[in-house]
Amino acid sequence: MTRPALVYAAIGAALTAAAFALNPSADQHRSRIQEAVAERSPLAGVLGVGALTAFASTYHPLGVASYTTVNGRTLSVGALGMVFVLNPVK
């Protein structure tokens, strides 16, 4: 291999290792779901609807990314330490 190819391979390996290391945990997904439900409806936040939804969610790790589902519906996705709630439960 040439020198630039080795550099690119090393950078790619480092990025892949970082993606594995930064994959959000189930707890990170659940806390973000609780926050999103509370942001959408303060009353639901006070009543604990977000905590109930987060508790009922199922965590699915994919190595470099992860997602949670509730009743077969994808609720949140995460990668590189970030979690995005797609559509909070109404």
Q: What is the pLDDT of residues 7-61, one digit of tens each?
A: 999 999 999 999 999 999 999 999 999 998 888 888 887 888 888 888 889 999 9
Q: Can you tell me the mean pLDDT for 64-76?
A: 92
**For residue 75, how many other CB atoms are within 10 A of its CB?**
23
Question: Left, alpha or beta for 66 (phi > 0: left; psi -120 to 50: alpha)?
Answer: beta
Which of 1-5, 11-15, 63-67 is the least confident region?
A: 1-5
57 CB-contact burial (10 Å; exposed 0-12 / middle 13-18 / buried 19+) = buried
Domain ranges of the chain: 3-85
How far is the CA of 34 from the CAs of 17, 61, 65, 82, in angstroms? 29, 19, 20, 15
